[in-house]
Chain A
Amino acid sequence: MNPTVLTFVLYLLVAGNTTYFLGRSLYTNGEHFLASIFIQRPEIVQPLNTILLIGFYLINLGFVLLFFTQQKDLHNSISIAEFLAEKIGVVYLVLGSMHLFNIFVFITIEKRLYTPNPKR
């Protein structure tokens, strides 16, 4: 196989799977936050969660695909491994920062609504 194609397939497999599992974990764990935020309208939680998940996938997969550009010649396995490590490292850092940003948004909204002695 052409080395560039091979690299792209490997990159897509790793980054795509990471995005998928990250999205799943946000979906399952974020549901508690949404349920707590929309405590008076529980029927809105499930659809909103799904829409947020789709948006998350779109943004992150878009970034993952846009980020795969290469000008180096990938002639042997060492250069492929180094190139992949660099790309996937940056992708992980960006995905991780976005993930942490999401958590902080969740916490901020939830904290603002929920005080220890709720008045509702």
Chain B
Amino acid sequence: METTLSTSELTNKLIVQTYLIYLPIAVIMTILVARTLFKNSKIFMLDIFHGRAEIAFATNRLFEIGFYLLNVGAALLILKTYHIHNYQEMIEALSEKIGGFSIYLGVILFLNLLLFFRGKRKASQSLQRN
């Protein structure tokens, strides 16, 4: 009885540690990616909106907030872990989660880039038509 109680306590402690390590890393990764992406996307936005700075920067800001929401939501959704009994399993669970999340972030980043390029192409097409 004594040993089972202490193992379940150890499991709880390890699960809490996993969450406390995983969440800040995921949030910081999201913030870094969003900062870089939306600092460099201003030039695309200016192209898309034909140099009208006010609307371009407003759109940029709105997209940035949507990006934060979606990615933090996804990070929270994959938070839950089961069955962590020792430090080896904790490290494995952590690397699985963080690796999966960073792959997800990379895919989303490239989708965003595709979106920007598509907008830019359409904008230049509409410029030629007129």
Q: Which chain A residues have a beta carbon within 8 Å of chain B's beta carbons?
A: 18, 22, 25-26, 29-33, 36, 76-78, 81-82, 85-86, 88-93, 95-97, 99-100, 102-103, 106-107, 110, 115-117
B77 surroundings in chain A (CB, below 8 A) = 85-86, 89-90, 93
Q: Which chain B residues have a beta carbon within 8 Å of chain A's beta carbons?
A: 12, 15-16, 19, 50, 52, 54-55, 58-59, 61-63, 65-70, 72-77, 79-80, 126-127, 130
Q: Are B72 and A92 in contact (CB under 8 A)?
A: yes
Q: Are B15 and A99 in contact (CB under 8 A)?
A: no
Given contacts A29-B61, A78-B16, contact A103 B69 (CB under 8 A): no
Given contacts A89-B75, A92-B69, A92-B70, contact A25 B61 (CB under 8 A): yes
Q: Are A30 and B58 in contact (CB under 8 A)?
A: yes
Q: Are A100 and B58 in contact (CB under 8 A)?
A: no
Q: Are B76 and A85 in contact (CB under 8 A)?
A: yes
Q: Kindly report which residue of chain B lies nearest to residue A22, judged by CB atoms.
A: B65
A107 surroundings in chain B (CB, below 8 A) = 59
Partner of A78, one of B12, B65, B67: B12
Given contacts A78-B16, A85-B79, A93-B73, contact A25 B54 (CB under 8 A): no
Q: Kindly report which residue of chain A lies nearest to residue B76, judged by CB atoms.
A: A89
Assembly CA distance A85 to B69 (angstroms): 13
> Can you report 27 residue pairs joining A to B where beta carbons are below 8 Å apart?
A18-B69, A31-B58, A33-B58, A76-B12, A86-B76, A86-B80, A88-B76, A89-B73, A89-B75, A89-B76, A90-B77, A92-B70, A93-B69, A93-B73, A95-B73, A96-B66, A96-B67, A96-B68, A99-B62, A99-B69, A100-B63, A100-B70, A102-B62, A106-B59, A107-B59, A115-B130, A116-B127
